[in-house]
């Protein structure tokens, strides 16, 4: 067995003293306990929130925190088991049971949110003025921002009860459908490989391999394409109905509210990024010259420009990432070391494992877990650094408690991108070969393009499909493909040829399904993180205490307040342009390296 094969997570910490029990029994018992406490909570407080004083509010929130912790541990256990093996019926049944039970608990507690939001402003402020509410103050203030979008108590209960067979069920189906996709690359005896492994082949330096891989992916996407389009259509309409009933002015309003970002600031970000699409096009034209083709095709965009894509085995990648966090601070290094030593990571790819990578914060009383699909590529080391950046953020923020551990999505990428930059700098510094350095620099600029420009292009696809579904009715597979091509062409212009097969590639992106509106936060977070990293490069260790304080603050402060801890002014209208200037600087560096290699070839 390889070293990587042994890097699997141990989820027992989520079950605690029940870890020796059958998972179905253990999860059931935890939810039983949470349900009993939720019932007692409702008996004590329903109809009485308006009469609480500060001490009463503190006691109520303390009880809610315990219930949330119990239910959260159970549900996270079920989700993580399912992510590791989506094909096991027992995992699917456990997740469904957990989701249904957690929804029932949530229904019992709905009254508190509604009664809290209904309070007059001066009454809410009177309660919040007391001592001991720091663990939930920001959370409670945020909850009141939804008061104009809440339904009546009976309506909210119905909506919550139905959610388990509504959006949540459709999202789970989509995950199962995409996890089961097999791409026939002429390997493994014709059984096919997972979509993640197939997509990794698009980095191959051989254009014929990339073209054949892209065609195989397109072919693999075809059998379930209409079903995935139906799932997407259903969820688009589900969201349209909810937005209408809750009086949200547009499809992105709910996401902006949860991100603590104004519509105006988000639109400013999107327009700023779209206004610099030329940066992506410029690189793709340079890359065409590097690859010695007239124009890139869609399957060429991630091609390695060096003959060696830089394979890095797990142990070497682990040491490199650990060293980078150690260099930041002993505290950061110590936290990250625990992920490796205490089985908080699941790294090897597997046939029915969920694709991609993530870090699950779980609950503050336990610890985060990281999932990867590590394939020994150099970019996998950066992915490891990225997810452990999230893990560090989540672990440090756990001290804030369950109401403030998680940050808005717009800030959530700060630590992950910062960690990537740390590791990238080490990779670049250690590489002396000009062609290999170009490979690294090209990966870096392509990472910026993917995270900033491509995510905004995907936001524009979402904008098109949400609005089209509301005005045109159910969208055909062809209409989805048309809107996808429009948004991609808007980004790429004539710098990249979009093949006909690429029109179906929207259909495996999970964010469109489970987290509508999510993707722009990547661009927001990337530009924020680059700005923070630039300050770190300029000021070194001087910024580290403020940076760690920012991470440890979790969601206890607004994004603007968190930014100020590291000297960033998110309210500055020119902030996005400044971040994009940093991307432009990286592009210039990569282009200079590319021109040197091209010139060397011509000698």
pLDDT in tens, 218-276: 999 999 999 999 999 999 999 999 999 999 999 999 999 989 888 888 998 999 999 99
Name the token pair of 377: 């590529």
CA gap 80, 98 in Å, rounded: 12
In 457-587, at which residue ranges do the beta strands (DSSP E only) sit?
496-497
pTM of the model: 0.81
Which of 586, 176, 475 lies closest to 353 in space, CA to CA? 176
Name the strand (E) or helix (H) holding 182.
strand 182-183
- Alpha helix (H) ranges present in 431-493? 434-448, 455-472, 477-492
* Radius of gyration over every alpha carbon of the chain, rounded to an integer in angstroms: 24
464 C-beta neighbours (distance < 10 Å), count:
19
Which of 143, 399, 345 lies closest to 260 in space, CA to CA? 143
pLDDT value of residue 351: 86
Q: Over the stretch 302-361, which tens digit does the pLDDT of each residue have? A: 998 865 556 899 999 999 999 999 999 999 999 999 999 999 999 999 988 988 899 999
Kindly list the distances between the CA atom of residue 288 and the CA atoms of 39, 208, 214, 293, 451, in Å, as whole numbers in the listed order.
Answer: 64, 15, 18, 5, 21
Overall CATH class of domain 4-165 = mainly alpha
CA gap 185, 213 in Å, rounded: 7
The residue extents of the domains of the chain are 4-165
| Cβ neighbours of residue 70 closer than 8 Å, sequence gap 6 or more | 30, 31, 33, 34, 37
Name the token pair of 404: 């403030």
pLDDT value of residue 130: 92
| Cβ neighbours of residue 571 closer than 8 Å, sequence gap 6 or more | 560
Site of tokens 């189906």: 173
User: Which segments of the chain have a pLDDT < 70?
Assistant: 1-2, 187-189, 306-310, 603
CA gap 494, 472 in Å, rounded: 29
- The CB-side HSE value for 103 (13 A sphere, CA atoms) comes to 20
CA gap 513, 354 in Å, rounded: 15
| Cβ neighbours of residue 256 closer than 8 Å, sequence gap 6 or more | 262, 263, 266, 517
pLDDT value of residue 388: 98
Q: For residue 359, list its beta bridge partners.
A: 370
CA gap 502, 575 in Å, rounded: 34
| Cβ neighbours of residue 303 closer than 8 Å, sequence gap 6 or more | 202, 203, 204, 205, 207, 210, 287, 291
473 C-beta neighbours (distance < 10 Å), count:
9
pLDDT value of residue 433: 81
CA gap 102, 108 in Å, rounded: 10
CA gap 153, 47 in Å, rounded: 11
pLDDT value of residue 1: 39
User: Cα-flanking dihedrals φ and ψ of residue 344, to 5°?
Assistant: -100, 5
Name the token pair of 532: 């923070």
């Amino acid at each position: 067995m390889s070293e990587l094969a042994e890097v699997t997570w141990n989820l027992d910490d989520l079950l605690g003293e029940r870890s020796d029990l059958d998972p179905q029994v253990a999860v059931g018992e935890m939810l039983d306990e949470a349900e009993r406490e939720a019932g007692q909570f409702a008996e004590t407080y329903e109809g009485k929130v308006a009469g609480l004083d500060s001490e009463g509010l503190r006691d109520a929130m303390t009880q809610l925190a315990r219930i949330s912790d119990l239910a959260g541990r159970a549900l996270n256990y079920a989700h993580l088991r399912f992510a590791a093996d989506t094909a096991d019926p027992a995992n699917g049944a456990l997740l469904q049971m957990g989701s249904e039970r957690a929804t029932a608990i949530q229904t019992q507690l709905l009254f508190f949110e509604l009664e809290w939001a209904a309070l007059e402003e001066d009454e809410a402020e009177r309660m919040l003025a007391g001592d001991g509410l720091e663990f939930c103050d920001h959370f409670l203030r945020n909850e009141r921002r939804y008061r104009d979008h809440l339904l009546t108590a009976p309506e909210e209960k119905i909506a919550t009860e139905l959610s388990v067979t509504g959006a949540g069920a459709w999202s789970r189906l989509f995950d199962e459908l995409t996890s089961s996709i097999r791409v026939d690359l002429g390997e493994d005896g014709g059984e096919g490989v997972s979509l993640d492994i197939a997509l990794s082949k698009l980095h191959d330096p051989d254009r014929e391999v990339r073209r054949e891989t892209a065609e195989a992916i397109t072919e693999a996407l075809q059998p379930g394409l209409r079903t995935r389009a139906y799932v997407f259509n259903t969820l688009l309409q589900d969201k349209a109905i909810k937005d209408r009933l809750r009086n949200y002015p547009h499809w992105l309003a709910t996401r902006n509210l949860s991100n603590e970002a104004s519509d105006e600031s988000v639109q400013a970000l999107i327009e700023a990024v779209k206004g610099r699409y030329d940066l992506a096009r410029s690189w793709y034209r340079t890359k065409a010259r590097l690859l010695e083709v007239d124009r890139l095709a869609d399957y060429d965009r991630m091609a390695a420009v060096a003959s060696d894509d830089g394979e890095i085995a797990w142990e070497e990648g682990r040491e490199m990432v650990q060293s980078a966090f150690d260099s930041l601070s002993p505290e950061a290094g110590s936290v990250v070391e625990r992920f490796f030593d205490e089985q908080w990571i699941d790294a090897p790819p597997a046939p029915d494992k969920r694709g991609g990578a993530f870090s699950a914060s779980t609950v503050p009383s336990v610890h985060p877990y990281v999932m990867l699909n590590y394939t020994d590529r150099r970019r996998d080391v950066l992915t490891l650094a990225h997810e452990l950046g999230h893990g560090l953020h989540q672990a440090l923020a756990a001290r804030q408690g369950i109401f403030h551990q998680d940050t808005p999505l717009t800030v959530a990428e700060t630590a992950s991108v910062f960690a990537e930059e740390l590791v990238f700098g080490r990779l670049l510094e250690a590489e002396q070969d000009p062609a290999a350095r170009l490979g690294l620099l090209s990966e870096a600029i392509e990472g910026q393009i993917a995270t900033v420009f491509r995510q905004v292009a995907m936001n524009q696809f979402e904008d098109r499909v949400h609005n089209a579904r509301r005005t045109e009715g159910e969208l055909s597979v062809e209409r989805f493909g048309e809107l996808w091509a429009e948004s991609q062409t808007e980004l790429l212009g004539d710098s990249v040829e979009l093949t006909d097969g690429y029109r179906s590639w929207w259909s495996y992106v999970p964010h469109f399904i489970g987290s509508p509106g999510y993707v722009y936060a990547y661009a927001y977070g990337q530009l924020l993180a680059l700005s923070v990293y630039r300050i770190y490069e300029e000021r070194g260790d001087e910024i580290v205490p403020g940076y760690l304080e920012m991470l440890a603050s979790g969601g206890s402060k607004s994004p603007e307040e968190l930014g100020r801890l590291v000297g960033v002014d998110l309210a500055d209208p020119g902030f996005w342009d400044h971040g994009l200037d940093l991307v432009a600087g990286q592009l210039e560096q990569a282009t200079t390296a590319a021109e040197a290699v091209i010139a060397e070839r011509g000698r």
